[in-house]
Amino acid sequence: MSDIGQLSLILALSVTLYTIVSSFIGSWRRIPELVKSGEYGFYTVPLLLAFPTYVLVHSFVVRDFSIRYVYENSDLAMPHAYTWVALYAGNAGSLLFLAVVLSIFSVLAIITMRRKLPHTTPYATGVLAIILAFFLTIIVFLANPLDKLNFLPADGLGINPLLIHFGMFIHPPLQMSGLVLVAVPFSISIGALLARRGGRDEWVDMGRLWGMISWLILTIGLLLGSWWAYTILGWGGYWAWDPVENSALMPWLAMTAFVHSVMVQKRRGMFRMWNMIIIIIAFTLAQMGMFINRGGPVPSVHSFAQSTMGWLFLMFMTVTLIISLAIFIWRLDSLKSRGQLESILSRESAFLAQNILFLTVAFVTLWGTIFPVFSEVASGDTMTIGQPYFNIINGPILLGIIFLMGVGPLIPWRRSSVRSLIRLLRIPVLVALATFIILSAAGGTKLFATISFATLSLALSGILLEWIRGTNSWHKRGDSYIQGYLKLVSRNRPRYGGYVVHIGIIMLASGITASSFYSVQKDIFMKPGDVASLGNYTFAYVDGNRQNYTNREEFIASFRVYNDQSVVDTLDAKRIFYPDFKIAATIGAIRSTPLEDFYIVPSEFNENNEAVFRVLINPMIWWMWASGPVIFLGVLIGLWPKRRSPPTHMRLHDIQSQDIQGNIP
């Protein structure tokens, strides 16, 4: 059966290659039948890839260790549920996973855009097919998950124990999907460029839709990864500016800039060149993410799908970048702006500033990630760049972005005067100042944290002001407050969905600020029966237990936790040792409230169940995880389709491009 699976993979590659040829030649030579044949053929690729996936799943379930990938990523002791994780745990499997996700979303994208963008779709299809063909070529020739071993082992090597956690069921697939799905808005943009329609702005709606979908998946992937790092890796933190983490953050930054910047293109026909550059950068960074993940030159705690094919991804990334820029320059004349930047005090100017700031953070992160390699080559000295560097430089820039997030929606389009800006921003600025003064007086010793909270208050009050004003105006017309608010949101979903997302970002940033500046950490050596305290928490090490399982040994320390108000909690901190992998995983005991997290992590236990425990108090971490559903809700609202009303006006260039029957192509 695996042979048929292999055949299916080869067939998928062939069809994809055909789609490339037919889409480009058919568009260039204006042979619509050829284009259509490629498009319809492309629709079969998800099915052609579903079959080998099924074969792989089946092989895991029946424990067919003759297939190398099953041998390397599972064993007889593995519960069946972990087959899902094993599918993407190794290099070949993760590539197949990426190919399946890309093919499905590509087909969805093509179906949604082919009626609205008849000229762009063939080119976009071709670009998507090229990207998919790259993955499929590697799968078929270099990293085939259905390759067989020439012997039948009795048992497999087993799955990496760090992956056995609830978060690992969702984080890697989401993260990988987010990265690969940047290909969709990229293909739409490049397709529009190739079709000479980059400056027509018709592609912006689709670009924004698919941009937001990939952005959302990237966001949730990043949040889940941080949550996993916090709860299972046991160092009390959630983000270390590790190269693999950075490689997922950089495309996220570029995509955030992109989904905002296309709004200006839609509204005023400006930033056409910017948006092309931003999406090209975003896709390049996404590819760099895959390069660093698969055997890049920078050492990382993270690389689990290690292989030597990182260089292939680097090559593909370089080629894509060079060709995209060449196309950009070739079609430069089609990207001239319709509108002008008329004043610094305008929303366009705020969007321009956010473009610059987001790309700066992305560049600084990139610079910091590759600088060690760069410095070794250039100066002979190796230098390490870690958390402190990124925090010091990116922190203020990100704060600047939050400031823009707060004032941007309140600044008018085109131009504004200082007087009207004062009137519009009066309340948020006053709230920010009040926050600063009150927090400083209450004992906020860290200046940057206080500035940060003041800026977040500015952003929050700006959003609430808009909501209250809007709801009030509906209320005056007779609706109740709730009805009025719902109508407000429903009539302008992109805007109000965006506000909800911004509230999520405020929650996230609050948690990051508080925990970055006010975390308290202490290592304490304790034996069973000891009592210690940190802050207003007192904790007693009640009992230490060992439990042996077939593949691991668990050390469990039970704690009783009290705080000032004598609320009692019982927490278990675990340290799990996997002798086959020689890896120890720690599961911290966490008591989480919106105010702060109380966190105990054990290190190695000795024979008397004594150990050094790291005890942490992390303020406001809860808000970080709570922001996830809020952001998701916001995107949902923002993308929720409205019933379309027929167009009531036509633009001049549409009239001009009408044919004799009045059809607009």
Partner 1 sequence: MIIQTINLTTTTIRTTKLALIGVIWIWLFVMLSSTIGCSGNYASISVEEHRYNQLNKLIVCPICPGESIDQSQATISSQMRTIVNEKISQGWTDDQIKDFFVERYGPSVIMEPPTHGFGLLAWIVAPIIIGAGVAGLATALVQMRKRSRKEYSSTACRPSISTSEQRQYSQYIESLIEGEEA
- Considering only residues 381-410, where is the footprint of partner 1 by CB under 8 A? 381-389, 393-394, 397
Residues 563-602 that bind partner 1 (CB under 8 A): 584, 594-596
Q: Is residue 370 involved in binding partner 1 (CB under 8 A)?
A: no
Name the token pair of 433. 């100042």
Q: Is residue 620 involved in binding partner 1 (CB under 8 A)?
A: yes
Least distance (Å) between residue 312 CB and partner 1? 22
Least distance (Å) between residue 308 CB and partner 1? 17
Q: Is residue 321 involved in binding partner 1 (CB under 8 A)?
A: no
Interface pattern 633-652 for partner 1 (x via CB under 8 A): -------------------x
Containing 208, the helix (H) or strand (E) segment is helix 204-232
- Interface with partner 1 (CB under 8 A), residue from 150, 548, 648, 656: 656
Please give the backbone phi and psi of residue 438, each rounded to the nearest 5 degrees, phi first.
Answer: -65, -45
Least distance (Å) between residue 635 CB and partner 1? 23
Query: How far is Cα 218 from Cα 224, in angstroms, rounded to an integer?
Result: 10
Name the token pair of 596. 């702060």
Name the token pair of 491. 């009539």
Q: Is residue 307 involved in binding partner 1 (CB under 8 A)?
A: no
Task: Indicate the Cα dihedral angle 231, 234, 237, 241, nearest 10°.
Answer: -110
Q: Is residue 301 involved in binding partner 1 (CB under 8 A)?
A: yes
Which of 175, 394 has the CB closer to partner 1?
Answer: 394
Q: Is residue 377 involved in binding partner 1 (CB under 8 A)?
A: no
Which of 43, 448 has the CB closer to partner 1?
Answer: 448
- Interface with partner 1 (CB under 8 A), residue from 117, 357, 401, 635: 357
Residues 503-532 that bind partner 1 (CB under 8 A): 514, 517-518, 520-522
- Cβ–Cβ < 8 Å for 54, 64: no
Which of 110, 357 has the CB closer to partner 1?
Answer: 357
Q: What does each C-alpha distance from 142 to 46, 157, 158, 642 come to in angstroms?
A: 21, 21, 22, 46
- Cβ–Cβ < 8 Å for 610, 526: yes
Query: How far is Cα 591 from Cα 569, in angstroms, rounded to an integer?
Result: 8
Least distance (Å) between residue 586 CB and partner 1? 9
Which of 148, 446 has the CB closer to partner 1?
Answer: 446
Query: How far is Cα 587 from Cα 164, in angstroms, rounded to an integer?
Result: 12
First vs last Cα of the chain: how many Å apart?
Answer: 48
Which of 415, 495 has the CB closer to partner 1?
Answer: 415
Query: How far is Cα 130 from Cα 494, in angstroms, rounded to an integer?
Result: 32
Which of 21, 567 has the CB closer to partner 1?
Answer: 567
- Interface with partner 1 (CB under 8 A), residue from 460, 556, 571, 611: 460
User: Near partner 1 by CB under 8 A, which window of 101-109, 255-263, 365-373, 633-641?
Assistant: 365-373
Query: How far is Cα 481 from Cα 515, in angstroms, rounded to an integer?
Result: 36
Which has the closest alpha carbon to 412: 267, 541, 273, 556? 267
Q: Is residue 162 involved in binding partner 1 (CB under 8 A)?
A: no
- Interface with partner 1 (CB under 8 A), residue from 173, 198, 296, 368: 368
Residues 595-614 that bind partner 1 (CB under 8 A): 595-596, 603-604
Least distance (Å) between residue 277 CB and partner 1? 13
Which of 360, 592 has the CB closer to partner 1?
Answer: 360
Please give the backbone phi and psi of residue 416, each rounded to the nearest 5 degrees, phi first.
Answer: -150, 160
Which of 65, 453 has the CB closer to partner 1?
Answer: 453
Which of 216, 280 has the CB closer to partner 1?
Answer: 280
Count of residues making up the chain: 665
* Spatial CB neighbours of 532, under 8 Å, sequence gap ≥ 6: 524, 526, 538, 539, 615
Strand ranges inside 482-582, DSSP E: 520-526, 531-534, 537-548, 553-563, 568-578
Which of 393, 636 has the CB closer to partner 1?
Answer: 393
Which of 54, 536 has the CB closer to partner 1?
Answer: 536
Which of 134, 474 has the CB closer to partner 1?
Answer: 474
Q: Is residue 435 involved in binding partner 1 (CB under 8 A)?
A: yes
Residue type (1 letter), 226: S
Which of 20, 620 has the CB closer to partner 1?
Answer: 620
Interface pattern 103-142 for partner 1 (x via CB under 8 A): ----------------------------------------
Q: Is residue 534 involved in binding partner 1 (CB under 8 A)?
A: yes
Which has the closest alpha carbon to 399: 432, 434, 438? 432
Query: How far is Cα 110 from Cα 105, in angstroms, rounded to an integer?
Result: 8
Least distance (Å) between residue 339 CB and partner 1? 10
User: Near partner 1 by CB under 8 A, which window of 143-151, 208-216, 374-382, 405-413?
Assistant: 374-382
Query: How far is Cα 620 from Cα 487, in angstroms, rounded to an integer?
Result: 33
User: Near partner 1 by CB under 8 A, which window of 55-63, 207-215, 259-267, 337-345?
Assistant: 337-345
Neighbours of 533 (CB within 10 A): 14
Which has the closest alpha carbon to 448: 400, 386, 520? 400
Which has the closest alpha carbon to 354: 432, 254, 273, 450? 254
Ramachandran assignment for 194, one of left (phi > 0), alpha (psi -120 to 50 degrees), beta (any other): alpha
Least distance (Å) between residue 548 CB and partner 1? 21
Residues touching partner 1: how many (CB under 8 A)?
84
